[in-house]
Amino acid sequence: MTSIRLYSLPPRLVAVFDILVGILMVLWFNHVVAMPMLGLWFGVRFFWYAVLLFSMYYPTFLSKLEHLQALIIFNIGVVFLMLFIDEKVIRSLLEAVLIIFSAASFWLVPAASGDLSVMAKPYRRWKFLMSIFGVAGIWNGVKALEIFQVTQGNLRFGLVSLAILLTVMISIWGWQEYGLVYSKKFLTAALVLAVCLAEVAYVLALWPLGYFASSFILTWVWYMIWLFLRFYISDEGIDMARQRWFLLFNVAFLLIFLIFVVRWR
């Protein structure tokens, strides 16, 4: 087993450093009052990640650039969620997520090349879990601007199209994380996903829902479609006998959410 090099920081020590700096970043974020300051906040946050990734030990079979990409998507998503959330409890939970999730991504980096089979799979799955927050945040921002009528006409169409494109790109990256390679099925799945996202976004725009509920439902439906398309792309294909109960449970839970949880406008 390859030991950690002396000039590289151990992943778990880096995770501790990130928690400490993450707390400071959250405190700073609570005092952000203008877009230029928010841009500066993102710049400092991403620069800190780059410093950590450059200075830490990293197995050769993993990509630092992909890790940074996951962190960027995650932070943008969580910040977009926090910008449009007024409830203190939910905001506090998101602040905790912002601190803990990024630190956990460093903690899960295998400490040596020999840890491939032990730690690489949880690490990759955690990165994709962070990207789910990214998708939720992107759509939360788009739906909030839509409901507040900040975007109309071509601008509204452009933002929705951009959100669909970003979601499809994140989805493709997620499929690759599961070892799926480009093929005709891969391209077909991406196109099907884009069409489904457009249809769901259009339907939700007609429903009298708040932006948080709309983005939550859209993210939920997106993940279900993404999961089934992942099985479609894989060599095993979709096993409906195994996925039937999963699908029925999610449909039932979605109906309960719409009827008993959502506040209709």
Residue 92: give the domain boundaries: 11-261
25 within some domain:
yes
82 within some domain:
yes
244 within some domain:
yes
1 within some domain:
no
User: pLDDT band at residue 6, thresholds of 50, 70 and 90?
Assistant: very low
User: pLDDT band at residue 203, thresholds of 50, 70 and 90?
Assistant: very high
124 Cβ neighbours under 8 A, 6+ residues apart: 177, 178
Of the ranges 161-165, 179-183, 216-220, which one carries the lowest mean pLDDT score? 179-183
Rounded to whole angstroms, the Cα distance separating 195 from 207 reads 19
192 within some domain:
yes
Of the ranges 114-118, 170-174, 216-220, which one carries the lowest mean pLDDT score? 114-118
pLDDT > 70 fraction of the chain, expressed in percent and rounded: 94
Of the ranges 24-38, 136-150, 168-182, which one carries the lowest mean pLDDT score? 168-182
Query: Domain count of the chain?
Result: 1
172 within some domain:
yes
3 within some domain:
no
Could you tell me the pTM of the whole model? 0.87
Separation of first and last alpha carbons in the chain: 59
Q: Cα 205–134–56 angle (5° rounding)?
A: 175
Tell me, what DSSP letter sits at residue 114?
Answer: G
213 within some domain:
yes
Tell me, what DSSP letter sits at residue 9?
Answer: B
List residues bridging with 56 in a β-sheet.
9
